[in-house]
Structures are given as structure tokens and as C-alpha cells.
A = this chain, B = another copy of it.
């Protein structure tokens, strides 16, 4: 069957069976069942010991449920998985195997057996040793993590695909913290069947996805990977975080998912050659995701920095150079005009230094004058002076339709400007806690 159609059973099932359902959140099978209660389709808990679980009728086995389901979630120990899988023939279109205890601890025979059964019975497998998935557009949440322990992000345009469940959960927390939202999130673990390539193909066709985060420890077929990553990059903003870079990381990656990490330098240079974006670390990834989820990427590399703190402007200008962005001189006529309207002690260069005597409207004056001369704007508003107020967000909101260029803010995270930051982020202006990080955010939009 067509990959995307078969993955629809996984991402948008109409019916779900849960093998290993439990009655309380003290067991992982109970956590999953609770998370499935929000699902609007049919849910069949399976546990021979109970007649009812969390208000739902419980079934003794897959044979007892009244239909073939789109998705089965298996929350039973590794050793039981082959027999359970055999019982899914004709009863389920896809299956999530959450349990660990396969190739990652040397049980490659068991993993091969699972893979073969899946092929034989024609069921698409996610896992084993995986986190499952989250699709808020479909009220679907198969994670074995309680909501109180991992607050899910809201609906949005970021999709996450991660080999590691731990990193998936960290990415979701970080996306939530940036006030961005998620379209789909999936942890594929040991990838005996569904891997990053299948998921890339699926996300490429997902209308709710604008940005894709992909955390990778190891690859199967490198050539196919490049092909799919290129295809996805052409349609969405794909950001790759590769782990297992050095020898230590590679050893750790192997014992974690049982696939070899391969030579990182090769991977890195091939990605670069094909223009596929790789981020250096977790924080850089999240800063880029924030920008790309808020605003549409654009071309060019000429940046204007407007600041009320000289030193912060210097740090931003330095980072622009590191990122290959040009802090281009103001056009002479515009500079002359700004010198006439601003107090004599403002610095009318690039960065424009509005000094500690700044007023909110000065930013707007500068932006209106320069909106056609630059490709992107870094705005630094240190709220330690009285001239920076919450009105700045309203003013930006008013002029924003006329300034259709990438625009990021740096405002220190010191509690003083909480409302200003949240108002700016509501109108999709990302705010960063340091000058350098704001420049890196802008860089993501200008690539």
C-alpha cells in the first residue's frame, strides 16, 4: 500500500486497540489508556483480567473486539511481542510497539523476528522501543507519559520526528515553551519498519506542517535519506539535529537504538552540499524552530539592528558576522533624515543606538524609514529604562502589515517585560533572551 495512506492509519486512526491496558496510571498501560480517553474514535482496551477499564468496556483479546482496527498499541514486555503480533493478522492495519528490550540491548534475534512477522502479516510497525505519537488535530495521544509529567504543546505548525523518546519529550517541552504549537509528533525508536524516511514523506504532504524537526542518531540507507530529506526540505523547513557525532556519542547511540551512527563528518558535509539544514545543538535548534514557526522564511542577508543598549547592539552585530549576515550601512539619505528627527546623541549608524533615553515610538520611526532597505530586523529593547513600555507591542502590531520582512526581538528574560514579550509573541514576533540568539533566530528566517 502507498506509504502515506498506510501511515494515515497510524496518524489518523478511526479505531484503536490497546493491548496491555491497565486500570490506573501507576502502570504505563493505564497512562496510555488515560491519554486515549480524549480520542474521539473507538477505543478497545484489552486486558483479560478486567471487564471495564476507566469507564470503557475491556476485552479479553484481539479476537473479542467487534472490528478490525486501524491502530493497535502494544504495551507488553518484549518477550510477548512476537505472539501478540501474530494475533494482529487481519485485525489491525498498524501497530505501535512501545516496549524496549530489543536490538538496543543486544536482542537482535527478537527484533528480526518482530520485523519478519510484521512483513508476513502486512501490518505497519512503529518501534519497538519507541514513544508513539501525538496528533492534536486528531485528539490522538499514544504516549506512555502522563500529561502532568509532559504538558503537551497546543496545535500548531511544527512536526517532530525523533528516534529517541527522551529527546522527543524534551523537544515538545521546548516547543511549548517557545509558544509554538505542534502538528504531529512521533518517536520511531528502533525502526524495524516505519523510519524517518517514511515519516518525511508523510510530513511533506501534511497541510498543517510548516516546520519539521528531525532528531537522528543513526541512519539506515544514507542515499535514500538524502533523497527524502531534499524532497522534504523543498516543501517544508526541515531542521536536523544529529547526535552521535564523536566516538563517545556514537557508542552511546548504538547502545540506545541498536543502529550504527556512521561517520558524522560525512553526514555533515553531504547535508551541507545539498542545502539541508543541520543545527549544531539543542538550543540552536529550538531558536530556529521558534523563528520558522512564527514567520515565513525569506531571502537576502542585509540586517538592520535597532537597539536601546549600545553593548547589546555590538554583540548582535558580531553574531551577524559569524552567521554570514551583513550589517549594511544605512542609506545616506535615510541616515540624514533620521539624524534630523532623533536627538543628537542617538547613534544613527547600523546598529541604530536609541540609548537609554529611548521612547517606544523611536523604533517605529526607524522601522518605517528603513523597511525597504533591509531584508530583516533585529530589535533590541532593554526594559530597564522607563521609555520601554508595553505599548511597543501595539505599535509593532500596527506597522507590521507594512513591514513584510523577518523581524526578531531580543528582550532579557528578567521578569520586568513579561507582558511585552507575550504580546509580541502573540503577533508572531519571536523574542529571544540574548542578542546572539535573536540573530540566530533571524538567520534561520533568511536562509
Contacts and interface: CB of A to CB of B under 8 A. Distances in A.
A169 interface: yes
A386 interface: yes
B151 A317 contact: no
Nearest to A286: B434
Contacts of A383: 149
Contacts of A344: 105
A255 interface: yes
Given A101-B345, A170-B412, A252-B314, A247 B149 contact: no
Contacts of A166: 307-312, 356, 382
How many A residues touch the partner, as a band?
35 or more
Interface stretch (A65-73, A173-181, A193-201, A369-377): A173-181
A245 interface: yes
A414 B150 CA distance: 8
A312 B344 CA distance: 52
A165 B357 CA distance: 13
A436 B170 CA distance: 13
B415 A151 contact: yes
A162 B311 CA distance: 9
Interface in A260-311: 281-283, 307-311
A311 B246 contact: no
* Copies of this protein, total: 2
A284 to B, nearest CB: 9
A385 interface: yes
Given A244-B318, A327-B248, A345-B100, A149 B416 contact: yes
Contacts of A104: 310, 347
B100 A355 contact: yes
A412 B174 contact: yes
Nearest to A312: B166
Given A151-B415, A167-B315, A283-B436, 8 more contacts: A104-B310, A104-B347, A166-B312, A177-B414, A246-B317, A248-B318, A251-B349, A252-B349
